[in-house]
Structure 1
């Protein structure tokens, strides 16, 4: 008997993996051996298939959404409201608040739905968006409104928040298909958001086509602003830059491979009402939450790296009765058992016999 056969027989006889010893034991009928060969082979095939499915799920789609309705005492953040003037040529300006200050407005069962009301004295655009977003050209029409003088605008909205599992930070951005604000690869914005990414994508398109960018674009000073004689180029490509298109699409537009934001809430405008005011010098804007959310979404990690080992370990125990010690046993037989047997002359004696 060859050395390989001797070592294989010894492994099958002494292994902790169930069923193997019945294949090589003496005085076993050939039908018993055949039964255990087929059984162990089928168990191994099913084990490999299920393990491959587990690994594929972790690699390709480890993130899932669930809807939570059990706990309703969370604080709901009021969305951001941006006001942009249609005519920025002001003769004077009165500063009444700290620059870039933030109003931390929360809504819960104690405070009730939030309401934001303010007056404007010029024609303005009002944008409703998530806190990490910026007003940009491609914002949906329902989230922006032109407020004329002597008008009263009431925006009614509802929001469902998205909570993220902290373990999602261990998953690559490409796999979870969203970015957190601190995972910022942008050059001209301090935090990542989908709108900021699209804005920088349009900036890159302007640089590629005209070698300069519009003076209204937010930059960090590292790109050149178009001079008066270069505005003709901006006008020629303006229709192209306004449209977003999928990759390889024949349509006119720019392709922006921007991931969505992991923290962006599900914001829905329920209604917008505009009516005339008697006061010609100002307009009123009211942004109101329709009701407190009765549910929220949670993005969580289905299986992490540790869960993969636990799952595959469970499959090994279920189909083969094996464990991590069984794997160590295989390594022992391949690497150390031969040396131990040779020292005792067992392999040589059995091989000759």
Structure 2
């Protein structure tokens, strides 16, 4: 990050710029530099936040390499495809939400035995384990995410248990079964961030709705609304989200419940 700041802004830059870039590129709901931006009316805070993210977030080819599935090498970035999440752009494999879908299907069964995926990380990375219908989201269980620092080796072992719904469940009202199938978007929703419904995409949408309710905008890392234009937060909006972080989390819970 420091090297890129040096390239884009020079060695004589205001060191506040480094804090601002970090808050924008990896916005997590809190923005410590936003208050200084507003109090001192700094010009650095008036730029295009999405452009800042594009410059400072690591691209796939600079993030992972030497990928292999069951000992067979494959091109990492032909298989790990971009996916917009509330954390910004991630790279995921075997997902229905990417374009094209899945990228590369990783299949294992009783005949093939356990699958083995190998990745060499070129930077510190955070890994989320999720189903093909799910996306990384604010409530991802801690045992389904790992932070791997550069130079360290990590082995993650897991198994999946498939659940199948009875066909008669389709005939029950959503209010009765208290869940939706992947094609069942709410017609009343004004926000649609993903084309396929899942629990995690629902939670992400609830977070976006809570942000709009409190601050009339969503932060710049949030996936684009497919139904209509949604206000993207300026520095004032990010300050609002930061000040209301606990409140919008509570409001999100109310919307969800």
TM range (shorter): 0.5 to 0.7
> Which protein, 1 or 2, shows the higher relative CO under an 8 Å CA cutoff with sep ≥ 6?
1
For residue 146 of structure 1, what is the aligned residue in structure 2? Answer: 147
**Residue of 78, 82, 85 corresponding to 1:97:** 78
Hey, what does 1:226 align to over in structure 2?
Answer: 233
Structure 1 residue matching 2:129: 3-state secondary structure: strand
Aligned to 1:129: 130
Alpha-carbon shift at residue 229 of structure 1 (Å): 2.5
User: How far apart in 2 are the matches of 1:91 and 1:234?
Assistant: 25
- Quote the residue 2:118 is aligned against: 117
Task: Report if aligned partners of 1:240, 1:254 keep a CA contact under 8 Å in 2.
Answer: no
Give the strand-richer structure, 1 or 2: 1
Q: Distance in 2 between matches of 1:91 and 1:107?
A: 30
Taking the TM superposition and a 5 Å limit, the aligned residue runs for 1:1-353 are 89-90=56-57, 94=61, 96-97=77-78, 99=81, 100=98, 101=100, 102=102, 103-185=104-186, 187-220=192-225, 222-242=229-249, 254-257=253-256
Q: State the distance in 1 between where 2:152 and 2:236 align.
A: 39
Deviation of 1:97 (Å): 1.1
Q: CA deviation digits over 1:65-117, x for unaligned, max 9? A: xxxxxxxxxxxxxxxxxxxx968615876494165352222222210012221
TM-score normalised according to structure 1 size:
0.43
For the residues of structure 1 that align with 2:173 and 2:220, how far apart are their CA atoms? 35
Distance across 2 between alignment mates of 1:230 and 1:160: 42
* Structure 1 vs Structure 2 CA RMSD: 2.6
| Matched-pair contact (CA < 8 Å) for 2:217–2:232 | yes
In our comparison, the structure showing a higher alpha carbon Rg is 1
Mapped to 2, the partners of 1:192 and 1:200 lie a distance apart of 10
CA contact (8 A) 2:134 2:198 kept: yes
Query: How far apart are residue 166 of structure 1 and its match?
Result: 2.3
- Structure 1 gaps of 5+ residues are 1-84, 245-252, 259-353
Structure 1 residues 93 and 168: alpha-carbon distance in aligned structure 2, compared to 1, 3 A threshold = closer
Q: Provide the C-alpha distance between the structure 2 equivalents of 1:93 and 1:257, rounded to a whole number of angstroms.
A: 33
Structure 2 stretches lacking a partner, 5+ long? 1-24, 27-52, 62-75, 82-97
- Report the TM-score when normalising by structure 2: 0.57
Report the Cα distance in structure 1 between the residues aligned to 2:59 and 2:131, rounded to whole angstroms: 30
Deviation above 2 Å: which 4+ runs of structure 1? 85-88, 90-96, 98-101, 239-244
